[in-house]
Structure 1
């Protein structure tokens, strides 16, 4: 049996291709080797779904955020090996997942807009160019953590519409001190900041909330898409919840820049599953 995983900052989608072609699925927490040790990742993986498969999995294909370097890939591989010691394990970057799921065997630009953000230029077979992805403090333009951070900054400085501020207090019971405690003292601050994006999406008919996404997407185009050669003549594809649930704003922001947005998927896992099924 084959186990496939697509992991972002907030969640991991798991798929199992059973003998005979049946597919089962599970959604768990996200993993990022930049912010978690192998031991922490291994502990999080020990849930009922995966533990029950520990003696049956023959191959594992893990695509994850933060898995671009050999060192980080090895850390994730070590965590997976603790649960599937006899399996063949391959760890790859989440950009590879985005490219395979959206571009297939055709050239294009593949982008991720989830909790964080990233992008690559894909020639139909391999990634030929990428942009720096310095994480939620220095980068992640257009991602949920980036949008949420701006929202929380505006809340603290009282620079958002009073109506939105009151709604946020009523829903989240937040104060400046609660926000700072979560961001500076609690684990996974990017995940916390991104958690406000559902609220912002629900209220995107308000010009302020619409503008948070629109401006963040423009920042993403500035730092990522516009840096690729011939970017206006290539299809630009997206995966990730921020892109998917705000696709109307994303397409408008792209149109204003002369960028052709093609496919937008919430998750690449279905495309990855098909990709690996075809290799069987």
Structure 2
């Protein structure tokens, strides 16, 4: 008998089939219930996952998902998973709890996600006890790829991108306004579309203009969110997510300047979640 663990963000979902003696990893697209329906989640799971794992017996599913922040959204995902995996025990959690467990196991601390979107929480070693909302792509998500992609596109159309960067940006990224508007107004996952432009900043992170943008975004995340948690300076701050992992030196610099403990960066949260749930496999 095996368990199935899922870590689902805005861009991708990583799945692990864990038995007593081995683990196998699979990937599908992100399954955020704010962007998906029961039918579309079920379709992805059956076509891109179930068909690959075959007839392995699954006893429990532990699903950590972006967007699983209310019973309504959890029920949507639970229904889809239940249709794809009948008679399996399904455990639904917000991805923040997954981040906290991956970062700290059963120790307290401040867990942060910096990927396509951003989020954070204060964790007591068992549950999330404080959560300052990220306010999502339109209103917040400071320090995320979506946030930086939005900044870059805005500055491009305000003629604020330096000439040496502007030429490279136009050469390697589609900056046509009609194309961008189509992605914004017609795309089901606007944040993921805009976040793809943030890769340009990562490719030029040593450029002073780029460094200023990155620094401002990470400083906003830390000073306007992380520092607001109760007794924040008493806790370790740890991160998961591709953006955090790529820019950890800059983030550590900002944390230190604000009197906080430099973070630990978890590049593979699934590995940590496998360890956390290994006790469930008999």
TM-score band, normalised by shorter chain:
over 0.9
Cα deviation per residue 1:122-164 (whole Å; 9 max; x = unaligned)? 1112211111132111111111101110011111111111111
Cα deviation per residue 1:167-190 (whole Å; 9 max; x = unaligned)? 111001322222222112222110
Cα deviation per residue 1:68-89 (whole Å; 9 max; x = unaligned)? 1111111111111121012111
Q: Which runs of 5+ in 1 are unaligned?
A: none
1:225 is matched with which residue?
A: 226
| Correspondence list, 1:192-271, <5 A | 192-271=193-272
Contact 1:68 1:93 in 2 (8 A): yes
In the TM superposition, what is the alpha-carbon distance from 1:199 to its structure 2 partner?
Answer: 2.0
User: 1:73 & 1:63 partners in 2: Cα distance?
Assistant: 10
User: 2:227 & 2:165 partners in 1: Cα distance?
Assistant: 33
SS in 1 for 2:53: coil
| Correspondence list, 1:116-131, <5 A | 116-131=117-132
Answering whether residue 20 of structure 2 is matched by residue 8 of structure 1, we say: no
2:176 is matched with which residue?
A: 175
Is the alpha carbon distance of 1:48 and 1:229 closer, same or farther for their aligned partners in structure 2, counting shifts above 3 Å? closer
Is the alpha carbon distance of 1:100 and 1:217 closer, same or farther for their aligned partners in structure 2, counting shifts above 3 Å? same
Answering whether residue 27 of structure 2 is matched by residue 27 of structure 1, we say: yes
What TM-score, normalized by structure 1, do the two folds share?
0.95
User: 2:61 & 2:280 partners in 1: Cα distance?
Assistant: 14
User: 2:145 & 2:269 partners in 1: Cα distance?
Assistant: 17
2:60 is matched with which residue?
A: 59
User: 1:3 & 1:269 partners in 2: Cα distance?
Assistant: 11
2:88 is matched with which residue?
A: 87
Contact 2:7 2:64 in 1 (8 A): yes
Aligned pairs, how many? 279
In the TM superposition, what is the alpha-carbon distance from 1:54 to its structure 2 partner?
Answer: 6.2
Contact 2:102 2:269 in 1 (8 A): yes
Contact 2:173 2:197 in 1 (8 A): no
Cα deviation per residue 1:209-249 (whole Å; 9 max; x = unaligned)? 22222111111113321110111121001111110111112
SS in 1 for 2:159: coil
User: 1:209 & 1:156 partners in 2: Cα distance?
Assistant: 16
Contact 1:54 1:84 in 2 (8 A): no
After TM superposition, the structure 1 stretch with the greater mean CA deviation from structure 2, 38-47 or 92-101, is: 38-47
